[in-house]
Structure 1
Amino acid sequence: MTWLKRLLGIMLLGAIVGTASVGAMYIYVRPELPDVSTLKDVQLQTPMRVYTADGKLISQFGEKRRIPLPIQDIPLKMKQAFIATEDSRFYQNPGIDPIGIIRAAINLVVTGKKSQGASTITQQVARNFFLTREKTYIRKIKEIFLALQIEHVLTKNEILDLYLNKIALGYRAYGVGAAAQVYYGKSVNQLTLAQIAMIAGLPKAPSALNPLHDPVRAKDRRNTVLGRMLEQGYIDKATYEKTRLEPLTATYHGAEIQVHAPYLAEMVRQQMEAKYGDKAYTRGLKVYTTVTAKRQLAAEHALRQNLLNYDQRHGFRGPIMHLWKAGKPELTHDQINHKLETLPNYAHLIAAAITQVDGQQAKAVLKGGKNITLNWDGMKWARRFITDSRQGKEPKQASDILAPGDVVWVTKEKDSDDYRLSQLPDASAAIIALNPQNGAIEAISGGFSYNQSKFNRATQARRQVGSNIKPFIYSNAFASGMTLATLVNDAPVNQWDQSLGVAWRPKNSPPVYAGPLRLRVALAESKNVVSVRLVRKMGIDSVIKHLELFGFNKDELPHNDTIALGSASLTPLQLVRGYATFANGGFLISPYFIDHVSDSTDQIIYQAQPKIACRYCDKSAKSPSIKELLSIKGNPLQQCPIQYANASQLAPRIISAQNAFLVAQAMHSVITGGGSWAHHTGWNGTGWRALTLHRDDLYGKSGTTNASRDAWFSGFAPGIVVTSWVGFDNFDRDLGHTSYNNNLGKDQVYGGEFGGKTAQPAWISLMREALKGVPEQPVPIPNGIVTVRIDDKTGLLSNKTDYTSRFEYFIDGTQPTQYARPNNAEHESIQDQIY
């Protein structure tokens, strides 16, 4: 009994000392313990995601990838796998595992090593949210006390919820939702048991046990997890045996990008960082842009295909590199693929190594290991590039182009398994589409590939605009009292220019002169000397002042006659904004690209409030009645709701509706042309290629600068205005000239490069997709516009109804009052009207 009493006394003393020690340790660390109640309102660090207006993912930004999931959305087997592996007594223990702690202590005494952590899931939550991963006794003590406190604040399911969404699982994936996406490209409810077990094995060592880093160790760890699940009764023996034999299927999956728009994504990133700072990347913000998936994809395709077409007609610049030369040992298939894997990706170009050349065919290995054949139709274009204006002879067989060991770029043909020889374009391009009613950017691309160049030419490249400036100059002419029927002499200009100090001799391109021309025809045929005469008639100060109305900075505009030919340098964004005024009836809209932003709980924290261009709500002019609105073709109420009549919501009017209408009419002739082909008086506008769209509601203007260094096409259709540009980043390099390629047939493009040939095809391609299902809606005729029949040559009134006359639009009060004279006095009547 004495011995027993002593033992009990020692045990009691030990308990007292132990309790006192624990209490002392708690008192010691208590000031450093954080408030665990903050876990009730924890904000998990989640990346910023950028979406199209219709909810397609464009990009995501943030150091950590995380897809937070409520506990009820996580599969039962996923929860069981983690519990079996990390804390089998999770639902029974108080937040710490005394048995595990004693086992770890004994192991430490025996081995002298801290090899068993004994951390419960609750302790891991405490460490992940409040502590570091350093292995010190004081950190472990803090972890235990925090775990006990957490158990008093949260339920077991709430703890498990935090754990499964916070845990680091490798490759910047945090939480099971992100891990499922990173390793399998799936949501958690699509995972197999083997995939669940693989993820559940990662917390112990996310880097060392990662299936992408060490598949052997990862598979062993996965099978260990399955064994624990078997021990705990979560799976049966048959399931265990079947699942442990399954191969690893993990491969890296980036963010599930649905719409490729890297230039727009970067614009969003910069604006969000400016607004929210570094928190933009961690708050789980969802940014909904103004672009639609359909139009963005169409814009990307239009720009790339047009740039490839331009580049390929100028010749093949040769392979990227050589893996081996003739007579040298060839590389194996695996060696070839290893070399190809080191090459970057550029848009839809794929690296390929030529392994065999035979006749008009070549065999190759694609990056990724696939074997393909390049047929003659996919490579016969490849004349040798000499200069931008010279190409070599047409190839006759594949060996004229390629040799075994060459590494080249190829593209997959649309709707086919065939591949085509290609190359990374030297030239650059930009395309941008706006909604002319409110300035929303609906599609944008600043180059062929963001990997090739991060310079956004749509918003940053200031380039000379060439004849794309002319609609703005003609707008000034109409504001000065001229009309579409006003005659201006299309004849060479040879006058002293005091501002330049030389005799300036601008020329038409081509240098053909027609004599007196109506302004409608002059703009449609892009007559340079007519534009110069207009500027001189109105005065440079008047022209500059008018251009300022469209948002162009007067300090950046040339204050001399060269402005008539587009010597001003503007960005595509500035230019398309100006063209929107002609599309919307005279208003200056402000481009924007973020529609709204929501937080991680889907609450909207920002909503754009653009000013609306509403020709039917403008208080400065007579507004039509609802009945009149409904009678207008295309029902403008759908585009311009009557509630926008609030003046504070209206974009500022900068030119009259009548002025905008007359410019649009001239731009319509740029595409449709005029005259009578049957009577040999027909003529084409510079944008005639858009006739392939078979629509009568297209309005545009081409633009080409001196020496063809820049090619432009800008214009609009119902609900959309688009600017397309092509040029070299090197300002000294012009777009050149191509000769006829006998391998390609009669439909090929060749000759000099200019706006209608080089930039307009991308404009047409985008419009073709954007306007599918959109009914024709010609620009409505505003109040104050009248139509009269005029004589084609003189612009005066005509009594004739044949091919020599046409109906023309005029601002009421500016229509001609005289009739054209008989033929024998026609010359005199023209001289009376000409500028």
Structure 2
Amino acid sequence: MKYIKYLILFIIVSTLVGSIALVGIYFYIKPDLPSVTVLKDVRLQTPMRIYTHDGKLISQYGVKRRIPVKLEEVPQELINAVIATEDSRFYDHYGIDPIGIMRAAFNLAITGEKQQGASTLSMQLARGFFLTREKTYIRKIKEIFIALHMEQELSKQEILELYLNKVELGHRAFGFGAAAQVYYGKPLSKLNLAQLATLAGLPQAPSVLNPISRPERSIERRRIVLLRMLDEKLITRAQFDEAANQPVSSRKHGAEIALDAPYLADLIYNEMIEIYGKEEAETGGYQVYATASSHLQAAAQDAVVRNVHDYDERHGYRGPVQYLWNAPLTKEDGTPDSETQAQQKSSAKTRDAWDTDSIISALKQVTSYTPLIPAVVLEVHEQAITVLDRDEQKRVIEWAGMDWAREYITDSRQGNEPEKAADIVSEGAVIHIREQDGQWRLSQIPDVSGALIAIDPKNGAVQAVVGGYSFYQSQFNRATQAKRQVGSNIKPFVYSAALEHGYTLASVINDAPINQWNAATGVAWRPENSPAEYDGPIRMRKALGKSKNVVSVRLLRGVGLDATVKHLARFGFNEREIPRDETVSLGSGSHSPLEMVRAMSVIANGGFLVKPYFIDNIQDEFGEVLWQAKPVWACNPCNDAVADAEEKDIETLLAEQLNQDQALAMPDDEDAKQPAPQVISAQNAFLVSEMMRTGVRANGSWNNKTYWLGTGWRARNILQREDIAGKTGTTNDSRDTWFSGFHHTLVATAWLGFDDMNRKLGRATRNQNLINRDPERFNWIGNAMIGSEDGAKAAGPAWIRFMQVALNEVPYSPMPIPENIVRVRIDRTTGKLTRRTDHTTLFEYFLQGTEPTSYIREDEIIDPAELDSPNEPEPEEVF
């Protein structure tokens, strides 16, 4: 009895001392213990994901990869695997597992090593959020206290969901949603038991147990997980055998990029950084939805890339990247030894050819950008070549895919058309190839650059943006950042100013040379038409359609320089960037494609200045909308809201619009539309659009000799629709080329030029190979176009290709005719009223009250049919 008393006393004292020690330890470390209540509103570090408007992922930003999942979205097999492996008594304990702790303590006493941590899921979660992986007693004690607190504050389901989203699983994947994507490229719901068991085995040591870095050890770990599930009767023996014998099926995957649109993604990313700061934007789990749809964005990217290649190919082939063998010999001065090269090219056998492994290794070092693929020429046939590409695929480039490759001499000179493949490349040459229209083609990295941007004119929502040939070649966004001379793209706005000052579409202006002496400089200014042809008296509609330079200058003089500059500023151009001389009427000012497309939208939407924007809405990681764009709309009134812009100057209008935009995040009435300032009348916008319609089509009658072509006539020929309008733009020496145009539901601007502003786009000579291959398409927008580069040839094709896709399913819908617009019959030559109804007349639109009041006399009538020849060649002869 005495010993029993001592034993009981010892137990009581030990318990008391242990309790006091435990309480002492708790109060000692209490200041260092975090408040677990923060887990109630925890925000996991989740990368920002950017989507198109229709939900296609285009980019992801952030170091940590995490795809948060709700517990109900997690397969039960994964939950079973995690609990069986990491904490089989998870639902039975209160944060700590006494049995596990005793087992770990016993193991420590026997081995002297801390081999078992006895950590529950709650303790692992506590360590993941608040502590480190350092194996110390004080860390373990803290872990225990935090876990106990956690169990008081959170339910088991909440703890489990946090754990599944927080745990580190290797290769920068945090949480099982991200791990499924990184290792298998699939969501959790698409994984089988073997794959889920592999993931469930990662928390113990993700760096050495993952199936990418250590596949053998991952198989061993997977077997342990499956055995634990079998022991717990969570799977059957048959399921165990099937899953345990599955081969490793993982490889490293990036984010599930559905559409690679880096220029668009970069714009949105930078905007998010401005709003939230870099760290918050990249870790806050924001899901950002762009205004652009994947359909239109892809169409814009394809249009720009194809157009850049078309220009590049019609100016000649600059030769292979390098030679792996059979390198052409050169003379001592470095020039090619033509005689020796000819002998090399005529040789039927490959000399010193490399083996496949060496070729592939060399090709992987070659710089390339999508859609280009590096390849080496293995065989040269009469009019074809066989190549091996970087993906170890052998491909045959037929003659139709390489007959364009005349030698590049300068931007304005090309060599003779090749007659056989040996005139272009030799065996051993490293080249680039690309696929176009189902055919493999010889290609090259282009020197020229291009851009395209499209917006919805109703509210400024950007529908597509492409800032260059490849973001990975140059991150400079030419669509939003490049300030380039706009050339004749400015003329619609000059003509709009003329309409505001009494001119009409039927006003006749003298298309004749201007020779103005400048006494200050001692130089005469002689603006010329391009081409240098003059029609004499010409109506305004026709002058804009034919882009007559001297008419634009005369209109500016009629309106006045200051009045014209003020009017241009109403379209959103910075007045300080508008030249204060008469060259402004010819487009000497420099503006970005974004500025141009915004200005064009004013004409397309009836006179309203909208503000382009790229982000439609921002959501949290679980899809809750945090912010919704509230743009200004081209309407007045909008929902009975009246905005009278006509009496205000442009600075006031723009300031008001800026203030509106800043206050749009949380409007009182979320359904209310904010009206955009109306900067020109609906009638003015309609009349300008009418003039621009003639610029994209053939006009008049060939038989009656009233036929003439707008500068962008190919647009109507290819798109086959009358409800479009557009304007070409070409600067001096063709350094910048533009095409801006619209359907009243979509406005787009395309640009093509060199980043080096001193480099001219030059001219392309006739390539008979292309004409012989497809004579009927010679007048189309492909490589066969010849002559000096201009807006119609160089930039127009990108706009047309984009609009072909964008308007494919859009029904014919002409621009609505506003009130107070009348239509009367006039004489083609003088613009006066006429009683005739033949080919010498046409119907024209006027603002009511500005239509002509006098009729043409019979002796004034000029019948084009009686002239010797029309002013224009037949369309089949126009290139």
Shift of 1:561: 1.5
Deviation per CA, 1:642-665, whole angstroms, max 9, x where unpaired?
xx9x99832112122222122111
Structure-to-structure mapping, 1:286-365, within 5 angstroms: 286-325=287-326, 330-342=353-365, 346-365=369-388
Cα distance in 1 between the residues matched to 2:193 and 2:368: 34
Deviation per CA, 1:412-435, whole angstroms, max 9, x where unpaired?
234x3x422222221111111111
Which residue does 2:698 correspond to in 1? 673
Which residue does 1:639 correspond to in 2? none
Task: Tell me if 1:477 matches 2:498.
Answer: yes
Cα distance in 1 between the residues matched to 2:273 and 2:763: 44
Structure-to-structure mapping, 1:697-736, within 5 angstroms: 697-736=723-762
Shift of 1:571: 0.4
Which residue does 2:818 correspond to in 1? 782
Helix, strand or coil at the partner of 2:708 = coil
Which residue does 1:262 correspond to in 2? 262
Letter in 2 for 1:283: G
Which residue does 1:412 correspond to in 2? 435
Which residue does 2:790 correspond to in 1? 754
Shift of 1:501: 5.0
Which residue does 1:174 correspond to in 2? 174
Helix, strand or coil at the partner of 2:617 = strand
Deviation larger for 490-499 or 342-351: 342-351
Shift of 1:9: 4.9
* Preserved contact between residue 713 and residue 755 of structure 1 (Cα < 8 Å): yes
Cα distance in 2 between the residues matched to 1:280 and 1:142: 32
Q: How many residues align?
A: 803
Deviation larger for 547-556 or 723-732: 547-556
Cα distance in 2 between the residues matched to 1:94 and 1:330: 71
Which residue does 2:390 correspond to in 1? 367
Which residue does 1:229 correspond to in 2? 229
Which residue does 2:159 correspond to in 1? 159
Cα distance in 1 between the residues matched to 2:436 and 2:672: 52
Letter in 2 for 1:309: D
Residues 420, 219 of structure 1: alpha-carbon distance in 2 compared, 3 angstrom cutoff? farther
Residues 323, 127 of structure 1: alpha-carbon distance in 2 compared, 3 angstrom cutoff? farther
Instruction: Name the TM-score, length of structure 1 as normaliser.
Output: 0.91
Structure-to-structure mapping, 1:438-477, within 5 angstroms: 438-477=459-498
* Preserved contact between residue 615 and residue 657 of structure 1 (Cα < 8 Å): no
Residues 371, 95 of structure 1: alpha-carbon distance in 2 compared, 3 angstrom cutoff? farther
Cα distance in 1 between the residues matched to 2:63 and 2:673: 41
Cα distance in 1 between the residues matched to 2:491 and 2:384: 49
Deviation larger for 771-780 or 557-566: 771-780
Shift of 1:379: 2.0
Which one of the candidate residues 600, 618, 625 is aligned to 2:621?
Answer: 600
Deviation larger for 483-492 or 56-65: 56-65
Shift of 1:99: 4.0
Deviation per CA, 1:14-55, whole angstroms, max 9, x where unpaired?
444433333322221122111223223322222222222222
Cα distance in 2 between the residues matched to 1:794 and 1:352: 63
Helix, strand or coil at the partner of 1:816 = coil
Deviation larger for 316-325 or 537-546: 316-325
Deviation larger for 458-467 or 230-239: 230-239
Helix, strand or coil at the partner of 2:206 = coil
Shift of 1:741: 1.7
Deviation larger for 354-363 or 778-787: 354-363
Shift of 1:2: 5.5
Residues 225, 688 of structure 1: alpha-carbon distance in 2 compared, 3 angstrom cutoff? same
Helix, strand or coil at the partner of 1:671 = coil
Deviation larger for 750-759 or 698-707: 750-759
Cα distance in 2 between the residues matched to 1:476 and 1:114: 84
Which one of the candidate residues 723, 734, 740 is aligned to 2:766?
Answer: 740
Helix, strand or coil at the partner of 1:60 = strand
Which residue does 1:49 correspond to in 2? 49
Task: Tell me if 1:434 matches 2:455.
Answer: yes
Which residue does 2:800 correspond to in 1? 764
Letter in 1 for 2:501: S
Which residue does 2:683 correspond to in 1? 658
Task: Tell me if 1:386 matches 2:409.
Answer: yes
Cα distance in 2 between the residues matched to 1:86 and 1:318: 61
Helix, strand or coil at the partner of 1:723 = strand
Cα distance in 2 between the residues matched to 1:340 and 1:232: 53
Letter in 2 for 1:275: I
Letter in 1 for 2:819: N
* Preserved contact between residue 826 and residue 833 of structure 2 (Cα < 8 Å): yes
Which one of the candidate residues 476, 483, 491 is aligned to 2:512?
Answer: 491
Deviation per CA, 1:786-834, whole angstroms, max 9, x where unpaired?
222211111122222111111111222222222223347879xxxxxxx
Letter in 1 for 2:172: R
Deviation larger for 321-330 or 428-437: 321-330
Letter in 2 for 1:387: T
Shift of 1:366: 3.0
Letter in 2 for 1:87: D
* Preserved contact between residue 718 and residue 776 of structure 1 (Cα < 8 Å): no
Residues 136, 425 of structure 1: alpha-carbon distance in 2 compared, 3 angstrom cutoff? same
Residues 762, 480 of structure 1: alpha-carbon distance in 2 compared, 3 angstrom cutoff? same
Helix, strand or coil at the partner of 2:632 = coil
Which residue does 1:216 correspond to in 2? 216
* Preserved contact between residue 394 and residue 743 of structure 1 (Cα < 8 Å): yes
Deviation larger for 360-369 or 382-391: 360-369
* Preserved contact between residue 457 and residue 744 of structure 2 (Cα < 8 Å): no
Deviation per CA, 1:108-146, whole angstroms, max 9, x where unpaired?
455554343332222110101111222322112111221
Cα distance in 1 between the residues matched to 2:364 and 2:176: 29
Residues 359, 109 of structure 1: alpha-carbon distance in 2 compared, 3 angstrom cutoff? farther
Helix, strand or coil at the partner of 1:145 = helix
* Preserved contact between residue 633 and residue 673 of structure 2 (Cα < 8 Å): no
Letter in 1 for 2:631: P
Residues 170, 406 of structure 1: alpha-carbon distance in 2 compared, 3 angstrom cutoff? farther
* Preserved contact between residue 211 and residue 248 of structure 1 (Cα < 8 Å): yes
Cα distance in 2 between the residues matched to 1:813 and 1:621: 23
Cα distance in 2 between the residues matched to 1:345 and 1:214: 32
Letter in 2 for 1:816: P
Cα distance in 2 between the residues matched to 1:112 and 1:512: 99
Deviation larger for 814-823 or 338-347: 338-347
Helix, strand or coil at the partner of 2:207 = coil
Deviation larger for 269-278 or 305-314: 269-278
Instruction: Name the TM-score, length of structure 2 as normaliser.
Output: 0.87
* Preserved contact between residue 610 and residue 633 of structure 2 (Cα < 8 Å): yes
Letter in 1 for 2:422: S
Shift of 1:780: 2.1
Task: Tell me if 1:796 matches 2:817.
Answer: no
Deviation per CA, 1:470-519, whole angstroms, max 9, x where unpaired?
11111111111111111111111111145765201111111111111111
Residues 79, 345 of structure 1: alpha-carbon distance in 2 compared, 3 angstrom cutoff? farther
* Preserved contact between residue 47 and residue 62 of structure 1 (Cα < 8 Å): yes
Which residue does 1:627 correspond to in 2? none
Deviation larger for 344-353 or 604-613: 344-353
Cα distance in 1 between the residues matched to 2:15 and 2:794: 89
Letter in 1 for 2:751: W
* Preserved contact between residue 705 and residue 711 of structure 1 (Cα < 8 Å): yes
Task: Tell me if 1:566 matches 2:587.
Answer: yes
Helix, strand or coil at the partner of 1:408 = strand
Task: Tell me if 1:510 matches 2:535.
Answer: no
Cα distance in 1 between the residues matched to 2:133 and 2:368: 38
Residues 744, 501 of structure 1: alpha-carbon distance in 2 compared, 3 angstrom cutoff? same
Deviation larger for 723-732 or 106-115: 106-115
* Preserved contact between residue 500 and residue 560 of structure 1 (Cα < 8 Å): no
Deviation larger for 6-15 or 111-120: 6-15
Unaligned 5+ residue runs, structure 1? 623-643, 828-835
Cα distance in 1 between the residues matched to 2:829 and 2:484: 37
Residues 825, 438 of structure 1: alpha-carbon distance in 2 compared, 3 angstrom cutoff? closer
Structure-to-structure mapping, 1:118-197, within 5 angstroms: 118-197=118-197
